[in-house]
Amino acid sequence: MINSHPLSSMSMIPNELLQTILNTVSEAVTIVDADGVVRYWNQAAEELYDIPADAILGRHISDFAWKSLMLSRTIEQMQPIRQAYHEPKPGIHVLVNSSILELNGSIIGVVSSEQDVTRLVRLGNELFSASHQLRTLEDEVKRYTANDDPFHRIKGSGAAITKTIQTARRVAETDATVLITGESGVGKELFAHAIHRASSRHDQPFVAINCGAIPSALFESELFGYERGAFTGADRHGRPGKIELADGGTLFLDEIGELPAEMQVKLLRFLQEHQFYRIGGTKPSEVNVRILAATNRNLEEMVNERKFRDDLFYRLNVVHLELPPLRKRIEDIPELIQLFSRDAALQYGKPIPRFSPEVIVTLMNFPWPGNLRQLRNLMERLVILSDGDVIERDHLPDSMKAPRLTEWTIDNPANPPVAMYAPAQIEIEQIRAALQTTYGNKTAAAKLLGISRGTLYNKIKTFELN
What DSSP letter does each residue of 264-330 carry, written as one string?
Answer: HHHHHHHHHHSEE--BT--S-EE---EEEEEESS-HHHHHHTTSS-HHHHHHHTTEEEEPPPGGG-G
Strands (E), 34-103: 38-41, 81-89, 92-103
Look at residue 332 and give its three-state secondary structure. helix
195 close to 154: Cβ distance less than 8 angstroms: no
Look at residue 165 and give its three-state secondary structure. helix
Q: Return the pLDDT at 414.
A: 34
Mean pLDDT, contiguous 10-residue spans, the chain (466 residues) = 52 62 78 83 82 83 61 64 74 81 82 80 64 57 62 88 95 96 93 96 94 82 78 65 92 93 90 86 88 95 93 95 93 88 88 85 86 93 86 87 52 34 56 68 70 78 76
CA distance 396 to 385: 10
Please give the DSSP secondary-structure letter assigned to residue 401.
P
pTM of the predicted model, to two decimals? Answer: 0.64
CA distance 311 to 57: 66
Q: Return the pLDDT at 421.
A: 34
Q: Return the pLDDT at 1.
A: 46
Domains annotated for the chain, with CATH where assigned, are 9-116 (3.30.450.20), 121-143+330-388 (1.10.8.60), 159-326 (3.40.50.300), 423-462 (1.10.10)
301 close to 336: Cβ distance less than 8 angstroms: no
Look at residue 60 and give its three-state secondary structure. strand
Q: How far is CA 184 from CA 154, 195, 251, 254, 319, in A?
A: 16, 19, 20, 11, 20
Spatial CA neighbour of 295 closest among 256, 322, 340: 256
Q: How many CB atoms lie within 10 A of CB 436?
A: 14
Would strands 106-116 and 28-33 be described as parallel, antiparallel, or unpaired?
Answer: antiparallel
Give Cα 261 distance to the centre of its chain: 35
* Percent helix, strand and coil across the chain, each to the nearest 5: 45, 20, 35
Q: What residues pair up with 137 in beta bridges, in sequence order?
A: none
Q: Is 318 exposed, middle or buried (0-12, 13-18, 19+ CB in 10 A)?
A: middle
Long-range contacts made by residues 268-271, C-beta under 8 angstroms, separation at least 24?
A: 268/309, 268/311, 268/312, 268/315, 270/224, 270/243, 271/177, 271/312, 271/315, 271/316
Buried b (16+ CB within 10 A) or exposed e, 445-464: bbbbbeeeeeebeebbeeee
CA distance 158 to 160: 6
Q: How many CB atoms lie within 10 A of CB 148?
A: 7
- DSSP H stretches of helix in 145-275: 159-172, 188-197, 216-224, 242-245, 261-273
446 close to 456: Cβ distance less than 8 angstroms: yes
Our CA angle for 446, 440, 427, nearest 5°, is 50
Q: What's the residue count for the chain?
A: 466
Question: What type of residue sits at position 29?
Answer: V
271 close to 224: Cβ distance less than 8 angstroms: no
